[in-house]
Chains A and B, each alone.
Chain A
Amino acid sequence: MDYIPSIGLEVHVQLRTRSKLFCGCGTRYGAEPNSQVCPVCLGYPGTLPVVNREAVRLTVVTGLMVGSEISPYSKFDRKSYFYPDMPKNFQISQYDRPLCLGGAVAIDVEGASRPIPLKRIHLEEDTAKNTHFEGFSGVDFNRAGVPLMEIVSEPEMHSPEEAFAFLQALKEILLYAGVSDCNLEQGNVRCDVNCSVRPAGSKALGVKTEIKNRNTFREVLHALRHEIARQVGVLEAGGAVGQETLRWDVAAGVTVGMRSKEYAHDYRYFPEPDLLPVALPRAWVEDWRAALPEPPRARRARLAREYGLPEYDAGVLTADPRSADFFEAAARLSPNPKAVSNWIMTEMQRLLAERSLAPSDARITPRALADLVALVDGGTLGSTGAREVFAVLFAEGGDPARIVAERGMAQVSDAGEMGALADRVIAENEAAAADYRKGKQAALQRLVGQVMRLSGGRANPRVVAGLLRERLK
């Protein structure tokens, strides 16, 4: 029998704010444990929360990006449970009046776009981080109170791959809106996944299980593949899937049931009396809406159209808005946008990845890249030389023409100098010359390579090939 999975995601996203959600402490990752804390985020007696407006703005901007309805009246609630990572033993979250309702994230499935509807987006505070040592445990409260936005989807993804595509599309939107760094290694994006399966043809959803707290999209993909197979197995064997909370054991590659004690809570939500309801002035929301960036899908289509790029290029460039920004800035200065795109997709991405840098960390300017493309197109630089110049620009910045001049890297097209080298190479490689004369085209490339080598890479390969052909006629 065929089974249809239904998958819903709850995605917790760390917002890009300088300070925490309810106090002025910093949010820098990797700081000395308990160095970014104060009486408020440690839950000291008598302290009170004060909402970080920027966190509210970023949440609303996210809602606007995905077409949510922005609540004119929203509020915070206390969610109570005891755990050592909870400074107050309640978390300030939003229960029945989230900042954003509805909306959708579009994903591409088999070439067609499909919107995955969202239930809601709300704002809450992160917990501290427990570390267990031999015989004792430590709590680092640096993360306690960091603003988290929770995005809850409807259970309308039907395969692990769709869930994966949803997460990627969502990440793009978040990067575009500038609301989060989406650094997965730093736990900026964490997912709870719920999943059920039902026989094809059946309308009612099956019993769902929840997989807690996955940090990477790959883990979500693998955990879902395993969990769906497990549920189908249970049903095929005539059993029933139990509603339970699971964790994904990365090493073993299996989902494991958590003891009911670990999640069976009555959270006793009630309105946070220390905070006023959030009544967003309409004018603010309209200002934020007016300042929204172009969404990634729209930009992808526009780049393909405006710059004549292949779909593939547009997709790669727009995956990170900073790459797309760089591309557009350079492409506007260049008659050859495709060449600009090639540089960004290959050399730039490679160097960034090697050095784990963000696009904004590179020293090269859009103007320098446009000039570099012009030097190549004008025949001044060959591909090897151009890559060398790019590396210099990437690491140090500067003007490509000047780098070429200072380092004597200009491509040599002078027939006299090149002719002499061609003569020498033919003399030293009689066998290859003979092969070419017999019609072996590949032999010419060997000879061109030799001339390039002797010129220190400065020779213009097209000129060299012409000279060699002339001499070997």
Chain B
Amino acid sequence: MAEPVNRALPTAHAALARLRRGECSSEELVRDVLGRIRATDGGIGAYLWVDEEDALGQARAADARRAAGNEGRLLGVPVAVKDVLNVRGQPCTCASRILRGYVAPYDATAVARLRAEGAVFAGRTNMDEFAMGSTTENSAVQVTRNPRDPERVPGGSSGGAAACVAAGEAVVALGTDTGGSIRQPAAFCGCVGLKPSYGRVSRYGLTAFASSLDQIGTLSADVRDAALMLQVMAGADCMDSTCLDAPVPDYGAALRDDLRGMKLGIPREYFVGGLAPEVETPVRAAIEQCRALGAEVAELSLPHTEYAIATYYVIAAAEASANLARFDGVRYGRRARAESDPMTMYCRTRAEGFGAEVKRRVILGTYVLSSGYYDAYYLTAQRVRTLIRRDFEKAFAHCDALLAPVAPSLPWRLGEAADDPLKMYLGDIYTVTANLAGICGMSVPCGSSADGLPVGLQILGPALGEEKVLRVGHAYEASASRPAAGP
């Protein structure tokens, strides 16, 4: 059974209820958050930047707005933001040296929508540099520790966001997921991580790592908060051509306590070889719990799963090599000292500004797009991607959602995966498929190992099938938190 996260902070929906009833002010709520950050973040390192005065100013403005009789779906609720999303007037360094000094001149669309509903942007959270990594150890700035075990990583790349939610240093946080970067840290830290379908939330203002895979989502204490945040952020955006013009359903209404009538698939390929027993056991138990809640559960196959990692790393690296070309020291960020020609300036700026993992992926991406190699790597990867997408289409023709582990192992010890990129890449096996297929997925805490380390249950749904994923997640979460719940 999942242990409830030990949080001194309310969920967003609970906080909103109290704010609406006048039981607390946004200023008090934000002061609580800032107090928690001061008290515990020294030992965790989730935040890269907090401006207390600015956050309190936003909170007071929210209180004034409420006093004037204006509601907002998130009025007065503080939100922590992964350092990859642009919030006007705040730094947005992607935890990289190369963006040191860069201040965002505009709001990402998701941020603007949250702001319009009254959210308060309290601080920026640590991450793997440019979202490249699975441990947050690739941050050029600082280490983030797992709140459940400070000797372990929080996962990544949204490690700071997951850690601050799990440690009760944030009510709710925004993350991004390119190959598992929301779901895996959520599983490692023991919170809820929702990656919406590709195109569900506008990417405008998300500093791109891999454009065809990136998606903005949330890290939250419960599923209801994920639904609440998605409700505000989802929907077409004229600034992002890849954002889908599909109606946004009432996600809150999808949250029910049972799973009667739902068909859940268990992908065989996600329970083979490298899956650690400490992970498999609680995931299997969670699947049984879902069956007990009324779902019909059946095994099925996603036959191209074994090619997912290679496919992902070719496509992601290719897109990243072009996306990161703009960081050249000409217009913003940090420029290396160079007296001579622009080419030398570029080389020095990028050599000094990027960390090893970013360089590795830029070089890999440049290579796979080079003339003579394009067909063998990039084009082949795109073809396999289509096959992986079809695997899911076929699966979702028979079931509403899939249940699987999030990561094959428990959270690594700090430094354990840092020197072995391949080991780190292989850890993404169960999460990259959702990004390749453009479908939605969520990680929900499903108990702990014997050492008390959290384990996540991954719920995958079809493209634009967030209602189904949220429903499964919520029903499971509700049953898991009921004392002595039994079939």
Contacts and interface: CB of A to CB of B under 8 A. Distances in A.
A29 interface: no
B326 A82 contact: no
B203 A48 contact: yes
A46 B325 CA distance: 13
Interface string A31-49: 0000000010011111111
Interface stretch (B189-197, B267-275, B280-288, B366-374): B366-374
Interface in B317-350: 318-319, 321-322, 325-328, 330-332, 342-343, 346
Given A82-B346, A270-B369, A273-B212, A48 B326 contact: no
28 contacts: A42-B331, A44-B86, A45-B92, A45-B207, A45-B332, A46-B92, A46-B203, A46-B206, A47-B204, A48-B204, A48-B239, A48-B240, A82-B325, A83-B342, A84-B342, A88-B325, A88-B326, A89-B325, A139-B330, A266-B371, A268-B321, A268-B322, A270-B319, A270-B322, A273-B210, A273-B242, A275-B242, A276-B241
Nearest to A88: B326
A457 interface: no
A78 interface: yes
Given A45-B92, A46-B206, A78-B322, A84 B241 contact: no
Query: What secondary structure prevails in chain B residues at the interface with A?
Result: loop
Nearest to A45: B207
A274 interface: yes
Contacts of B85: 46
Contacts of A274: 208, 211, 240-242
Interface stretch (B36-44, B102-110, B454-462): B102-110
A89 B322 CA distance: 8
Interface in B66-119: 85-86, 92, 94, 99, 102, 104-106, 108
A51 B203 CA distance: 16
Interface centre among B104, B108, B207, B331 (most CB of A within 10 A): B331
B466 to A, nearest CB: 22
Interface in A133-167: 139
B331 A268 contact: no
Contacts of B371: 266, 268
A50 interface: yes
Contact of B378 (A42, A45, A84, A270): A270
A87 interface: yes
Interface size, B (range): 35 or more
A210 B270 CA distance: 56
A188 to B, nearest CB: 26
Contacts of B94: 45
B203 A268 contact: no
A80 interface: yes
Query: What secondary structure prevails in chain A residues at the interface with B?
Result: loop
B253 interface: no
B305 to A, nearest CB: 23
B32 to A, nearest CB: 30
B376 interface: no
A87 B330 CA distance: 9
Interface of B: 85-86, 92, 94, 99, 102, 104-106, 108, 203-208, 210-212, 238-242, 318-319, 321-322, 325-328, 330-332, 342-343, 346, 366, 369-371, 374, 378
Given A80-B325, A270-B369, 8 more contacts: A49-B241, A50-B239, A87-B331, A89-B328, A270-B374, A273-B242, A274-B240, A275-B241
B241 A90 contact: no
Contacts of B328: 82, 84, 89
A80 B322 contact: yes
A45 B366 CA distance: 20
A46 B205 contact: yes
Contact of B105 (A44, A80, A270): A44
Interface centre among A42, A43, A47 (most CB of B within 10 A): A47
B295 to A, nearest CB: 36
Nearest to B330: A84
A273 B242 CA distance: 8
